[in-house]
Chains A and B, each alone.
Chain A
Amino acid sequence: MKKSWSYNPSQPNSIPEELSESLTKRGISKENVRLLVKTDMNTEMVRCDNYLVVTDSELYIISGSNTLSRKNNVSIFSSKKLQSQFEELPSQNDTPAVFNIKDYENFKVEELLSSSRLVAKSKNDDSYVLIANMSNTYKNDMYNFVRYLNDLVQKGEFTPEKEGKHSKNVFCPKCGNRYVDPERKICPKCMDRGKVIRRTGVFFLKYKVQIFIILCILIVTSALGVLGPYVSSGFYYDEVLDKNGKFYGELLLVLGIIISTRLLNTIISIFHNIITSRIAANLVYDLKKVIFSAIERLSLSFFTGRQTGGLMTQVNRDANTIYWFFCDGVPYFLINIVQVIVIFIIMIIMNPLLTLLSLVTVPLVVIAIKSVFGHMGKLHAKRYSRSRSMNSVLSDVLSGMRVVKAFSKENEEIERFDSRSRALAAAEETTGIFSTVSFPSISFLLYASNIIVWAIGGWMVIKGSMTYGILLTFISYMNMIYSPMFSFVDMTSQASDSMNAMSRLLEVMDAKPDVEESPNPVPLTNIQGKVEFRNIGFSYEKNRKIIDGVSFVIEPGKVIGIVGHTGAGKSTLANLLIRLYDVNEGEILIDDVNVKDISFEDLRKNVAIVSQETYLFMGTILENIKYARPDATNEEVIEAAKIAGAHDFIIKLPDAYSTQIGFGYKDLSGGERQRISIARAILRNPKILILDEATAAMDTETERKIQTALERLTVGRTTIMIAHRLSTLRDADKLIVVENGRMPEFGTHLELINKKGIYYNLYKMQAQALKNIGIES
């Protein structure tokens, strides 16, 4: 069993028992252990249990293997109590097993592709040494270890995190598997099903009356169903057709009964269907509403971490499955159980011997059905995944048709489609053949038990120990008992589908936004627009720092430019300010108030962003610009568009501001879309404006025009401009240079030029480029 374990420095007792011997051998007492971490590989990348033990001055590597063995005199009742034994491996390579930590500095984790390693820089000759390897499973433990270790080396002490996320147990105590999301502590494997059903069932409470009616209807119909064979076979033959019968010759009466029960049945089932259709539609609507609003609440990171394209389709399908479970599955299941029991009792009363005979083939049939369904499920899954892969080719090619044509790759694409399509056809063929072979075979098995009952029953009728009517009734009942019984077999697979759907639903509902609004926000009125970044650290993925120790202050009304290479972390800074993500370290302040304490409404009202990714919703241009402020007047919209340089092209469109734009934005170019989104931000009239490569998709002339307009707009407004084209930033009061998530340079244009650092180089390069085409800058 995989078990991660990391030493919690606040609990010295957590040193594993099995290490005692190894520690004693090295003369280390448990009290002296300052840090301890486990990895799963040695320096040769061989899997083993590798411990790093740090005392005040040394780092020891103890590598070996843990073996689990049962204690000798443990009773069988506590057989789960395994004892861990640690056996050291002899040192195989020249990497020393002891490091004097004072000789090293800058311990760090280097991430390879699917493993990581711990390295350190030697103080003697500045070279790096390899200390340990680990699979990525142990990476997070190691990052914590390194942080403490570096503190220990530099300051002689370290402060363990009180709420160490990683030092806590990230494995399910029940099954030993890792929690999928350590924050949620829900193990999908050991999930409490009852709880899932109860929680989902809440949605159905609204319809409890209708569900109760459905249950009643089902009881009535199944009672009628049980009565049916008796009336149509036993009663008919023995009482009506037989000379000795009580109702001999009264054909009309019997027909009347049969017709009226039939009619009653039909009416009830129509009624039943009306109710179920109504609940189905409303319930599916309820579920979708809940899920969609849950999704809207979530932070951006939820969407980047999941496949969102199919999310809504999934929601649809799940809602239907859940509906099925509660409205069809469970009631039918209950009714079927009752029906089976009742019919069974009737059959035993009628003839115990025949009852036994009729069940002879049932075990066989159940086994057959179970395996058929199992295999069928696999075949369907295969067919589904093949059709998914075929459809993905299809949509890929259709949306990339321009490229396909441009490189004349039609034949290759046909070939690619053909191979997927053929695979799908093959899967469909197998599925089809399998079902045509298997189901008749099962029917035949069933038929066999019918034959037996016919034969023995016929013999009994001839002998006179049973009437013909009873035999017929019996056989009808016998055939009635099969279908509910087999539905139980099928039930299991459908129930597990529903469980899946329900847990997915709860997953979305329970997903906690990482960025949460403060419950008691500080009101922001009349903001000045001072922005301060105080020692910001941020990573999208745990421990992989995108922003590291960035600090700066922007005075109200100033224009600040952020420059840096692509991927340096410029846009991330903007995303942090508007809280699309939250910082991991440090704080961001607006007018000396932490952004985390500002309500979303105040924050987004005062800070607007025009980003490089522009998204326009379905609707008119007007609606799209007004999205920022629905109460804006048409004049304001036009003014905003004018400033953004969008007005001129909008007015040339036949429908001008009422032009419908769709989700493919086929009508608008990249630059046009950008200008509309600038207009959107301008309309919001924020105190703080962020322009994230807002003019990158425009030609220089348009950019210049918009900039002149924006210049007027930025007066009195704190503006953060992000660009890689330095000319865009010529009017910035101060510039921030971002590189690899750090902020090596900060100052005015002149200061930075004189510094002859990164900015100077960037500037020189761009100036050189202009010179090359004959423009002196």
Chain B
Amino acid sequence: MAESNSLQNIAAIIYITPENSKISVKNDFLQLELTAPNEEGNIETKTYDRIFLHRAFPFDHPYSYISVLDKDSKEIGMISNVDIFDEDTSLKLRAELDRKYYAPVIKKINSVKERYGFSYWNVDTDAGPISFTLHDTYRSMLKVEHVRIFITDIDSNRYEIPNVEELDHKSYKKIELYL
């Protein structure tokens, strides 16, 4: 048992687990029924018509440390890992997270043209061919763990290159400059 003044006790994070909750889907959206202490410290069961999922560590832990928010963006609790739920629920949670953090994976870079501080990209992704534009190419490419790149275009759409070193040689050459 942790000491009463430990960080954990002070923070008092509510973890949403299969034991204290029920997650279901209604009209494509997730619903949550949770039994947990409320602000006054009394245990109560509450139903949230819609819940919103946020990754605490979107790059490193896409399916763990998930913050669950209500429709007013107030945190209801956290899910330590979606896989602690049964397979069906876990799949639903994963699907919702994948939608929220939607980022087509770039498979091949057909062309990158740099003009006056903007670059025009034409790529093949797992969602089909896409063209997009970046402002300040170098800063639009977020490097995670050296080889993983997240690209944010001027419309704030995101694209992912899971491993630049696994791109074909021609594609790699086109972006080598920015790495």
Using a CB–CB distance below 8 Å, which chain A residues touch chain B?
A: 1-2, 43, 45-47, 95, 112-115, 117, 119, 122, 126-130, 133, 135-137, 139, 177-178, 180, 188-189, 191, 307, 378, 381-382, 385, 499-500, 503-504, 740
Contact = CB atoms under 8 A, between A and B. Distances in A.
A1 B131 contact: yes
A180 B157 CA distance: 15
A130 B29 contact: yes
B100 interface: yes
Interface residues of B, number: 40
A767 B71 CA distance: 28
B116 A191 contact: yes
B49 A126 contact: yes
Contact of B101 (A113, A129, A188, A385): A113
B127 A47 contact: yes
Interface stretch (B5-13, B132-140, B164-172): B132-140
Q: Which of A113, A382, A385 has the most CB of B within 10 A?
A: A113
A188 B116 contact: yes
Contacts of A307: 136, 139
Contacts of A95: 28
B179 to A, nearest CB: 8
A114 B102 contact: yes
A136 B49 contact: no
A547 B100 CA distance: 25
A368 B72 CA distance: 63
Contact of A177 (B98, B133, B177): B133
Interface of B: 26-29, 49-50, 58, 72, 98-104, 113, 115-118, 120, 127-128, 130-133, 135-136, 138-139, 152, 154-158, 176-178
Nearest to B55: A113
A112 B102 contact: yes
B158 A114 contact: yes
A666 B13 CA distance: 39
Closest 8 CB pairs of A and B: A114-B158, A188-B116, A130-B28, A137-B155, A129-B27, A136-B155, A112-B100, A115-B102
Contacts of A191: 116
A593 to B, nearest CB: 37
A115 B102 CA distance: 7
A378 B176 CA distance: 9
Contacts of A503: 116
Contacts of A135: 155, 157
Contacts of A133: 99
B26 A127 contact: yes
Nearest to A126: B49
B133 A114 contact: no
Nearest to B136: A307
A95 B26 CA distance: 12
Contacts of A119: 29
B118 A188 contact: yes
B155 A130 contact: no
Given A127-B29, A137-B157, A189-B113, 14 more contacts: A45-B99, A45-B102, A47-B128, A115-B102, A115-B157, A122-B27, A129-B27, A136-B157, A139-B155, A177-B120, A180-B118, A188-B116, A188-B117, A188-B118
A52 to B, nearest CB: 16
B29 A504 contact: no
A114 B156 contact: yes
Contacts of A128: 27, 29, 49-50
Contacts of B130: 47
Contacts of B155: 135-137, 139, 178
Contact of B103 (A114, A188, A385): A114
Contacts of B27: 122, 127-130
Nearest to A135: B157
Contacts of B120: 177, 189
A129 B28 contact: yes
Nearest to B54: A113
